[in-house]
Amino acid sequence: MQLQQLHTVWLQRLNMSLAILHVCGCPIPRFFGARLKRPRTLINLDPANDELPYECDIDVRELVNVEDVMNELELGPNGALLYAMEYIEVNLDWLITRIRRATAEFAVPYLFIDCPGQVELYTHNEVMTKITQQLTKALDLRLVAVHLIDSTLCVDAYRYLSAVFLSLSAMMQLELPHINVLSKIDMVMDHTDDLSFSLDYYAGVSDLSQLLWTLQTTRHPMSEKFKEFNRLIAELIEDYGLVSFEPLDIQDKECALRVLGRCDTANGHIMNSEKVEDPSDPVSGVRLFQAGFSDAGEFLDEYLERYEERLQQR
Amino acid sequence: MAASSSADVKIPKSPVVILMIGMAGSGKSTLMHRMVVRLSKHKKVYTVNLDPAVRNLAYPVNIDIRDSVNYKEVMKHFGLGPNGAIMTSLNLFATKFDQVLNILNKRAENLDVVLIDTPGQIEVFNWSASGQIICDALAVSYPTIVCYVVDTARCVKPVTFMSNMLYACSILYKTKLPFIVSFNKIDVISHDFLKEWMEDFEKLGDALSRETSYVASLSKSMSLAMEEFYRNLRSVGVSAVTGAGGEDFEKAIQEACTEFQESYVPFLVEQRRDLEEKRKASVEEQMKTFERGLDRAKATNKRGRDTDLDQLGEDVQNLSIEERDYMMDCMD
């Protein structure tokens, strides 16, 4: 699905759980669920989720299901989703109990939570914010929001900025540390001629002047009118180190682990590194050392190599 | 595609196509109804509904996606949930959008305004390839403007207002078309406080700092940038229920049209061939995705039987967009 998806990573300090909220259709839970050896609990918080491509440990659809709500209350899909989310909020104990039970045996529990993608939940409806706040309080969680955007829809400067605004919009409401991810980067690679600026930009090696230059030289009626606004926004992004994107190609393990590594830094899981035994886990001592020395550019070169290899094997 | 394949053909000045975009609950469809009633008193209005999941529409529709694509059937045959089904329905419709343009071309001489209602799931339209296909196809054929509908009552909290306006930016930068923000429901709460916030970033800054502290400093810096945005933004306050602000709305449309003629037309005419090729490629991509989905459904053989799915596949290939037989001047 090409819907923008919002993920939140929830981390609990000291024997508490880390969670990554993930939206339906997104491959991350499938990947992490299957291949990551880190002990984790997968939770589906989307009452309107389609078929789940992964096995989850806790499924909120057992509590409330959007299709049922639609039928019983004769609401449309949006109304039903909002109703379902508010229902979950009111009955949050259901979820809290189950999370406690599921994470009881883990030394360093880690939660992945799949969240609904409806933008209304992250702009003017406060139900998601209330849910995250209540869960944080009850379970002592540290949360990180992971926001996934389909990179094939961001291939020119204007659309890229559009994605930036989207992320900013959600950041304002959720009030959580935020990681932005451009997914399906391998599909963008297939069409590099269409890109108006280099892939480095996507890797977060953000060059402010390049973005501005691209915007200003794009021959479009908007460029003149919004020249000043573009400049101010670009400055804002740079000053605050806001919105840098992590590229993600779900078929590339290194890529996915790198994103996970970023999450771990943002939510503090790296503090638990000595408790982690698996050396392939991004948080383990070994990898932290490696990560410290690699910069985005290097990562991108290595990724490109692996991508080429995969292409040849096809 | 009829007229727009040749670069010599100009973009006509009429009809004006207005894309109504807004979040669920913003009052988009109600506003659309109100505008249909208002405008048809002195203009010839045509309506298109792109929301496959809407139950009842108060206004008469000329082209309705629900006539061509059955959203419940899509849910069943593909084993999708409500969101997936809406997305897929729109994708299917978008692959046949040139038929819509053909119908519009035939009617164009006798039309002044075309109002298009988009799905309530705003992201289905904005963050999908099909939304892009539809927008781009319209923009090179007729003066197209975007009307972003906002629920004023929900903007009372400054953070929510900022969030909403950032979302508006996102849509503006995505569609790259003349833009009107309609603050709806002014019968419930006047939008004067919003006008104040937009004109004076310090007032907004104060309101923000009284709110939450986490995003306070970020919001303040952002409000400075946003003030620049508001300076170039066309906004009106309306009430779909009472009809208030109708005149302002019409004026804004006029201005947006002029903007389109003066700034956008030269650019779009040049880009037309390019955009047309991209659109075709996108449509092919969509058809392939659909076929893959169909194959997958067959393979897993979930809820539909093979024959049903074959029929569905055929129906899609032959999908034809119909026009309902509403008389243009026959509106309440």
Q: What is the reported pLDDT for A87?
A: 92
Give me the residue from B24, B128, B163 closest to A2, CB to CB.
Answer: B128
Whether B123 has its CB under 8 Å from any CB of chain A: the answer is yes
Lowest mean pLDDT segment, chosen from A211-220, A272-281, B32-41, B234-243:
A272-281
Q: Which of B49, B51, B76 shows the shortest CA–CA distance to B63?
A: B49
Give me the residue from B87, B166, B218 closest to A169, CB to CB.
Answer: B166
Distance CA B285, CA B307 (A): 25
Question: Band of the pLDDT at B305, cuts 50, 70, 90?
Answer: low
Mean pLDDT of chain B, nearest integer = 80
Q: Which residues of B touch A50 (CB under 8 A)?
A: 79-81, 83-84
Q: What is the reported pLDDT for A10?
A: 34
* pLDDT (tens digit per residue) in A255-313: 777 777 777 777 776 666 666 666 666 666 555 555 544 555 566 677 777 777 777 77
CB contacts under 8 A, B 227-246 vs A, are 228-229, 232
- Residue B202 is encoded by which pair of tokens? 């310090």
Lowest mean pLDDT segment, chosen from A2-16, A95-109, B70-84:
A2-16
Q: Do B264 and A242 touch (CB under 8 A)?
A: no
* pLDDT (tens digit per residue) in B108-124: 888 889 999 998 777 77
Q: What is the reported pLDDT for A91?
A: 92
Res B251 pLDDT > 60: yes
B215-249 per-residue burial string, b: 16 or more CB within 10 A, e: under 16: beebbbbbbebbbbbbeebbbbbbbbeeebbbebb
Q: What percent of chain B is predicted at pLDDT more than 70? A: 86
Distance CA B136, CA B1 (A): 13
Neighbours of A293 (CB within 10 A): 7
Res A19 pLDDT > 50: no
Q: Are strands B45-49 and B16-22 parallel, antiparallel or unpaired?
A: unpaired
Question: Band of the pLDDT at B184, cuts 50, 70, 90?
Answer: very high
Q: What is the reported pLDDT for A20?
A: 42
Q: Which residues of B touch A236 (CB under 8 A)?
A: 221-222, 225
Q: What is the reported pLDDT for A21?
A: 42
Higher local confidence (pLDDT), A294 or B82: B82
Q: What is the reported pLDDT for A206?
A: 56
Res B183 pLDDT > 90: yes
DSSP B12: P
ipTM of the complex as predicted: 0.73
Q: Which residue has the tokens 């932290």?
A: A288
DSSP A27: S
Span B229-240, mean pLDDT?
87
Question: Band of the pLDDT at B285, cuts 50, 70, 90?
Answer: confident
* pLDDT (tens digit per residue) in B85-99: 888 888 888 888 888
Res B148 pLDDT > 90: yes
Q: What is the reported pLDDT for B20?
A: 92
Q: What is the reported pLDDT for A61?
A: 87
Q: Which residue has the tokens 């084993």?
A: B79
Q: Do A66 and B81 touch (CB under 8 A)?
A: yes
Half-sphere exposure of A234 (CA within 13 A, CB side): 20
Whether B51 has its CB under 8 Å from any CB of chain A: the answer is no
* pLDDT (tens digit per residue) in B3-50: 444 445 567 777 899 999 988 778 888 899 999 999 888 888 999 999
Q: What is the reported pLDDT for A293?
A: 45
Res A5 pLDDT > 50: no
Q: What is the reported pLDDT for A290?
A: 56
Q: What is the reported pLDDT for A49?
A: 72
Q: What is the reported pLDDT for B8?
A: 52
Q: What is the reported pLDDT for A314?
A: 64
In chain A, which residue's Cα lies nearest the Cα of B261? A221
Q: Do B229 and A229 touch (CB under 8 A)?
A: yes
Q: Which residues pair with A20 in a beta bridge?
A: A9, A112
Span A166-189, mean pLDDT?
74
Q: Can you point out the beta strands (E) in chain A?
A: 5-12, 18-21, 41-44, 58-59, 110-114, 141-150, 178-183, 245-248
Question: Band of the pLDDT at A205, cuts 50, 70, 90?
Answer: very low
Mean pLDDT of chain A, nearest integer = 70
